[in-house]
Amino acid sequence: MKNPWIIVLAPLLVVAQWFGAFLPHSVSPAQAQLGKPEGLYYKSWAIIIGIENYVLAPPIPGAINDAKKVADAFRRLGFDEVVEVYDKDASARRLHQLLNDMLPRKVGRMDRLVMFYVGHTGLMQDSNGQDRGYLVPIDAPINNVAKSVTVEQLKEFTRRSASKHTLLILDAPIYGWETTIPQELTLEGRLSPESETERRAVQVISAAGKGEVSARPYHSSRFVQTLVKGLLGGADLDKNGWLMASELGTYLVQQVGAVSNGMQLPTSLRIDGDGDTVLVEGRKAAVLLGAEPQTPSERQQEAKAQYERAFALLQEGKATEEAVERLDRAIAYDPTYGDAYVLKSYVRLEVLPNLDEALKAGLLAVEYAPGNPDSYFTLGLIYEKRGKFADAEVAFRQALRVNHTYQDVYFALGTLYADHLNDQQKSVEAFRRYLELGGTHARARASVDQADRAPIP
């Protein structure tokens, strides 16, 4: 069967057109999210906010490094969008734009949204004398609530957000949430808790309780260290492969409380709904939480999963460096995975150019995927760009031996003969065959028309 990657490989002159076809279109979540997703969520968002070097408040050494660790953890969990907002980008204006405009506009009703914050917080009293916390942007003083992000504004944001599940994780003590009754954690049953995922939930985990501080020994947050361990498997308390926000909250309360000798006790609350945010699906846990495949079959399966994720990232036109990393992982799991070499050779040719890497992958592609015409087609494009035109011709001809109706290869041959090998007759022959197979490029049409109008000697 023909490799599906063939549908997006194209000659050099039409590469830009390919990328345009797969750029994400600007559609509202309501338009994009009708019906139910194939999995639990259409899209997963992690918003990571870290403020270290305040303008009007003391610095928090190590805050950005902690935030980056959390961002990396959510990437490992497979979140689609990990948005990092650090220091100068975390101004009052930008944070309010994020909460009031960008996220409500982009996050859909079948999405999950996690927001993590590390930075200063403050405390005020409302008109009823109740304590209300707030987050301090980089350009605000700690004791001035006017420019800060208050608990009331955070609650309004969660009400406006369409996301099915919202989880706020705050590396600071912050109070003032009205809560619903928390779900009791059970360690039996719940082997597949999809029913909880169908109900809306807004949950909050704070790093410390009232009157406590979030300790930062050696410029590293104790809460963040425990949070990352929990996200990457430690918080799966019932060991069923599913990691729920309620489990994560319980784990953080237990672990941080124990290591601090009761001096720092996180809080875990549900402030709206009666569902539970899924952080890891049980059936995906082995891959996402880093369990290494052992048998040849498992390694081939993991290689295929990494390849498919890389392919999806490239189709979406984003995270191209991550796509290359995933291709490298696929090859590490299965060094004979020919399609991974094909895709990597093309990416290294056109997306993240590195001709040495492209050639290395291209040669391995023809070795391990000789029945795939894209192996030879891409190798020919690499040779052409390196100025090895005779080698490019050989590679293109080999691609046609595998698939004699591959119209893009005929177009590539037509341009190669015309531009580099000075063989107009072969160029016209290649362009003519390209048009016969349904090609529409204007250059091919003009070349054939000109040849047909030329007088016969």
Residues 112 and 187 in one domain: yes
User: What count of other Cβ atoms lies within 10 Å of the Cβ of residue 70?
Assistant: 25
Q: What's the pLDDT at 289?
A: 46
Q: Number of folded domains in the chain?
A: 3
- Assess whether pLDDT exceeds 60 at residue 166: yes
Give residue 41's Cα distance to chain centre.
14
Residues 253 and 384 in one domain: no
Residues 120 and 251 in one domain: yes
CA distance 48 to 231: 15
**Final residue in a domain of this structure, among 359, 376, 403:** 403
Residues 248 and 301 in one domain: no
The CA angle 227-229-231, to the nearest 5 degrees, is 70
Specify the CATH number for the domain of residue 271: 3.40.50.1460
pLDDT in tens, 99-129: 999 998 899 888 999 999 999 998 887 767 7
Residues 94 and 128 in one domain: yes
Coil, helix or strand at residue 243: strand
Residues 90 and 210 in one domain: yes
> Is 286 domain-assigned?
no
Q: What's the pLDDT at 282?
A: 65
- Assess whether pLDDT exceeds 60 at residue 16: no
> Is 318 domain-assigned?
yes
> Is 101 domain-assigned?
yes
CA distance 95 to 34: 29
Partners of residue 116 on adjacent β-strands: 48, 169
Q: What is the DSSP string of 187-208?
A: SSS-SS-HHHHTS-EEEEEESS
Residues 413 and 386 in one domain: no
Residues 156 and 275 in one domain: yes
- Ranges 238-242, 302-306, 432-436: which has the least confidence: 238-242
**Final residue in a domain of this structure, among 223, 246, 280:** 280
For the record, the structure tokens of 123 come out as 């405390």
Q: What's the pLDDT at 356?
A: 93
pLDDT in tens, 121-148: 988 877 677 778 899 999 999 988 888 9
Residues 455 and 360 in one domain: no
> Is 309 domain-assigned?
yes
Residues 192 and 301 in one domain: no
* 139 touches 70 (CB < 8 A): no
What's at 356, amino acid-wise? D
Q: What is the DSSP string of 34-76?
A: -S--SSS-S-EEEEEEE--S-SSS---TTHHHHHHHHHHHHHH
Residue 233 pLDDT grade (very low, low, confident, very high; cuts 50, 70, 90):
confident
Q: What's the pLDDT at 302?
A: 84
User: What count of other Cβ atoms lies within 10 Å of the Cβ of residue 78?
Assistant: 13
> Is 161 domain-assigned?
yes
CA distance 256 to 264: 7
Residues 396 and 448 in one domain: no
For the question of whether the overall pTM of this predicted structure is more than 0.85, the answer is: no
Residues 15 and 150 in one domain: no
For the record, the structure tokens of 141 come out as 């003083």
Q: What is the DSSP string of 104-163?
A: HHH--TT-EEEEEEES-EEEEE-TTS-EEEEE--TTS-TT-GGGSEEHHHHHHHHHH---
> Is 287 domain-assigned?
no
Give residues with Cβ within 8 angstroms of 392, minimum separation 6.
380, 381, 383, 384, 416, 420
Mean residue pLDDT across the chain = 83
CA distance 301 to 7: 23
**Final residue in a domain of this structure, among 367, 383, 403:** 403
> Is 198 domain-assigned?
yes
CA distance 328 to 373: 22
Q: What's the pLDDT at 38?
A: 53
The better pLDDT of the pair 35, 63 is held by 63
The full 3-state SS of 247-287, as one line of letters, equals HHHHHHHHHHHHHCCCCCCCEEEEEEECCCCEEECHHHHHH
Print the domain residue range for 358: 1-39+292-403
Report the DSSP pairing between strands 112-118 and 81-86. unpaired
Specify the CATH number for the domain of residue 23: 1.25.40.10
